[in-house]
Amino acid sequence: MSDLSAAFVRLHARLAPVAFVPEVRLHQADEPIGLWELTEGEFRSAQPPPFWAFAWAGGQALARYVTDHPGLVAGRRVLDLASGSGLVAIAAARAGAAAVRAVEVDERAVAAVALNAEANGVRVDAELGDVLDGDAGDAEVVLAGDVFYSEAMAKRMLRFLLRAARSGSRVLVGDPGRAFLPRERFHELAGYDVPVTEALESVRVKHTTVWELDPSPPGAAR
């Protein structure tokens, strides 16, 4: 992580427990709209929004599920896609994963993941890059929190996750009812009412589901 990105994270986000997963502390923004405008600003065409500065509902639910079901990841290699703050990756590391790789396209998010992992006393390998046209490598478990928020992202993400599942990975997704989640491809594992930032979600609580991907075509016999 670059010193500049790490300094930005420390300056604009405060280390605090996550509302629905208080076992984990993250650098989180107190005032989301101001930070959103700051990070886009004059760099609007190139700089991703500061997804790393907030504990999104899908990530909180998935981290809660991993924390409460450590056998899912214990001793296994885990890939956390679009990791944001690193919440899900950190939960997997705390639950005993053999190795955790967190991938992000935003350099500041990579810095946030590294700082947050350090603050929680776990190792997470934070990686800058877009891997969605590739595969999950040696990951035995693939996790993705709140990634179906746009049509373009959803299509690329689903193709990647299907490749991972068909290669033998377990694939879990946390989603708070985003419009582009292809529900017919998943089966439900758990549901939670997750506290969220009202300024971002227009509500204080979002019902959020943890899903597991079924690699079979919709309607196929299991």
Strand-pair category, 141-145 with 125-128 = unpaired
Task: Please list the residues that pair with 143 across neighbouring strands.
Answer: 80, 172
d(CA 84, CA 79): 13
- The more confident residue out of 172 and 32 is 172
Q: Is the pLDDT at 45 greater than 50, yes or no? A: no
Domain boundaries, the chain: 3-213
3-state secondary structure of 143: strand
Confidence of residue 39 (pLDDT cuts 50, 70, 90): low
Residues 6+ apart with CB under 8 A from 46: none
What CATH number has the domain spanning 3-213? 3.40.50.150
Q: Is the pLDDT at 15 greater than 50, yes or no? A: yes
Residues 6+ apart with CB under 8 A from 147: 58, 81, 82, 153, 154, 157, 173, 175
Please check whether residue 113 is in contact with residue 91, taking contact to mean a CB–CB distance below 8 angstroms: no
Quick one: pLDDT at residue 197?
A: 82
Element (H, E) at 157: helix 151-166
- Other Cβ atoms closer than 10 A to 16: 13
d(CA 187, CA 175): 12
Quick one: pLDDT at residue 27?
A: 96
- The more confident residue out of 30 and 221 is 30
Residue tagged 């996750």 (tokens)? 161
